[in-house]
Structure 1
Amino acid sequence: MIPTYQECMKPFLLALNEAYPAEVKIRDIINHIANQFNLSDEERATLFSSGNQRVIDNRVGWARTYLNKAGLIESPRRAHFVITARGQAALQQGQDINTCYLKQFDEFVAFINKTNKNTNDDKQNNIETGKVSEESDITPDEELRAAYSKINNALTEELLDRTRNVSPAFFEQLLIDLLIAMGYGGTEEGAAHALGKSGDNGVDGVINQDPLGVDQIYIQAKRYAETNKVGAGEIRDFFGALNLKNAQKGLFITTSDFTASAKDTAHQLSSRIVLVNGKELARLMLRYNIGSRDEQVLHLKKIDEEFFEN
């Protein structure tokens, strides 16, 4: 299991203490900690959902930041670190090294007070009373990502509930807007045909995969209640309709879900049929701003080490 950033603090100090007085590269420290916790290759390579940073790198990075702000380590030059006398004394005491331990140092408390005051006055009050939120085992980055995920999960549920209750015509336009936003058809005019109508031999609509309409995707859309799942029979009917039209690609969308037998049937009959259930539909709507909009954009930034190299 990947260690928390607090669990990385003492191994970080130990790695520097073993090398003292030599400086140690941050990458070597990360590898040392990964080895100490017997991380698998998969765990070492695990990325955040954004795909921009490895989890172990982020957690060791925050351990470094807090140890540095508490005066237990210092950085003589870019990406190189050495333990301080305070850091060596901390190891000699034999205590756990975590945010609770670091709170005894004025520099660390001042850093926490300052960073929290700039973002949330309520958190400032907690720090002054000794309730430092940084005692959590997750990094500030992970707290932000968790909050982001929680908000999006709630939004997808609400989007799905509202989509189940719209009119057939509204549902038709919603799907057209979504597919065009995803890059199908090129423009709205002529991109989609007969979506939401009574159907033509088991097909609810057709959308162009390219602006010229050379390649087309046939669509079956079911605005079902959550408990009304699509069964294998409906998948077979759709497959038969695709064969009648010599269609190469089919998209089956539902606001509910597919039964296990429906999924197996789609897999066995043809790889041409793509299934999109309610949760996936709502996630796509959220991603492409269909029924939602950006309220505020937050940029998560980090230090540009190369900028300070010289």
Structure 2
Amino acid sequence: MPQGKLDYRQLIEPALAHLRQTDRYTYVDEISEILIENLEFPDDDLLQLLPSGRQTVFYSQLQWALSYLEQDRLIESDGADAYRITAVGRQFTGADLERTVAGKEPLPQFFQSPGQPFETGMAEDGPESGVSNPHLAMAREFETIYQDLKSNVIKRIYDQSPAFFENLIIDLLLSMGYGDRRRDLVAHLGRSGDGGIDGAIKQDQLGLDVVYVQAKRYRPGLAVPVSAVRDFAGALEAHKANKGLFVTTSHFTKSGREFITAVSSRIVLIDGDRLSSLLIRNNVGVCVHDTYEIKRIDEDFFNNA
């Protein structure tokens, strides 16, 4: 089983080993399936998503590994999303790969500057420079746009009134399917005497299952104090409720997150980072600006001709 945090260096050798077994172009999806089947990666590594929520970290790291191999001419691309090994790649020995993966030596042709360390240019999800693969370039640009949008969404929310924020959270929960998407099953509280509860969503028409909501529009960077989390837990107890959702535009303290693990009610904390992701995913407060389709050759169509 691979050790440590998953990164592309763990995938270079097995990816090249798989491509050695055939002379045909092999799509990244197929390579990914083979590696997942043959290598015992922890489920957490295989399921973890990039911030965009559209691609796994595993798949992203595999693309970086293949890109490095292509840059060094050990494999070649069909110009889309498929690769095959080259004559140079077939001559590259396991010992060569072991030194490369360990970071002791760079791949022989990839780095132009003598002595440049193997880790140079690495970002959280892969290298930031020297990549010619257009799919990786598009993915990186998409991630930049996505992160900018998340930041702007939170800024725009903070510029609105507290009442706007409370209604926004109700709109989000309805779009996610809570309350059977029926506004008549939503009670907008947020009045004095409601014990810090801003809203309640009935999960059924009789109101036997209710989720209570607290929305705090805090300035980004200003943490929600643990006292606010305690107050919300107390309000749930007063309503004899066992489900609560506390949402903020900022973030929660470590003590606040630890507190909810000790209370009987089930409380979910959603900070600004997760909130912005949910809003974008459910198209609340955002709209589609552009859509691009990336197509590739249908191998089954041509192979079955």
TM-score normalised by the shorter chain: which range applies?
0.5 to 0.7
2:269 and 2:237 map into 1 onto residues whose CA distance is: 17
Q: Structure 1-normalised TM-score? A: 0.64
Q: Unaligned regions of 5+ residues in structure 1, if any?
A: 71-78, 101-134
Q: Does 1:154 align with 2:154?
A: no
The higher radius of gyration belongs to: 1
Q: How many residue pairs align between the two structures?
A: 252
* Cα drift, residue 254 of structure 1: 1.4
* Cα drift, residue 67 of structure 1: 2.5
* Cα drift, residue 142 of structure 1: 2.2
Aligned equivalent of 2:125:
none
1:65 and 1:306 map into 2 onto residues whose CA distance is: 26
* Cα drift, residue 289 of structure 1: 1.5
* Cα drift, residue 253 of structure 1: 1.1
1:14 and 1:207 map into 2 onto residues whose CA distance is: 52
* Cα drift, residue 298 of structure 1: 2.1
Aligned equivalent of 1:245:
239
Counterpart residue identity of residue 165, structure 2:
F
Aligned equivalent of 1:165:
159
* Cα drift, residue 300 of structure 1: 3.6
* Cα drift, residue 61 of structure 1: 6.2
Aligned equivalent of 2:217:
223
Distance 1:80 1:274, change over 3 A: closer
2:206 and 2:279 map into 1 onto residues whose CA distance is: 25
Aligned equivalent of 2:76:
67
Q: Percent identity?
A: 32
Aligned equivalent of 2:178:
184
Aligned equivalent of 1:280:
274
Aligned equivalent of 2:41:
41
Distance 1:164 1:188, change over 3 A: farther
Contact 1:194 1:206 in 2 (8 A): yes
Contact 2:75 2:85 in 1 (8 A): no
Contact 2:216 2:247 in 1 (8 A): yes
Distance 1:169 1:140, change over 3 A: same
Secondary structure in structure 1 of the residue aligned to 2:245: strand
In the alignment, which of 300, 303, 306 is matched to residue 300 of structure 2?
A: 306
Secondary structure in structure 2 of the residue aligned to 1:283: helix
Q: Does 1:140 align with 2:114?
A: no
* Cα drift, residue 283 of structure 1: 1.7
2:225 and 2:140 map into 1 onto residues whose CA distance is: 35
* Cα drift, residue 46 of structure 1: 7.7
Aligned equivalent of 1:54:
59
Q: Unaligned regions of 5+ residues in structure 2, if any?
A: 1-6, 93-106, 113-128
In the alignment, which of 8, 15, 28 is matched to residue 2 of structure 1?
A: 8
Contact 2:74 2:88 in 1 (8 A): no
2:23 and 2:78 map into 1 onto residues whose CA distance is: 18
What's the CA shift string for 1:119-145, capped at 9, x where partnerless? xxxxxxxxxxxxxxxx82363222222
2:146 and 2:196 map into 1 onto residues whose CA distance is: 34
2:168 and 2:301 map into 1 onto residues whose CA distance is: 46
Contact 1:180 1:188 in 2 (8 A): yes
Secondary structure in structure 2 of the residue aligned to 1:157: helix
1:143 and 1:48 map into 2 onto residues whose CA distance is: 18
Q: Does 1:267 align with 2:261?
A: yes
2:89 and 2:223 map into 1 onto residues whose CA distance is: 63
Q: Structure 2-normalised TM-score? A: 0.65
Distance 1:282 1:56, change over 3 A: closer
Secondary structure in structure 2 of the residue aligned to 1:292: coil
Aligned equivalent of 2:100:
none
Distance 1:217 1:292, change over 3 A: same
The CA RMSD measured in Å over matched residues stands at 4.4
Distance 1:14 1:166, change over 3 A: closer
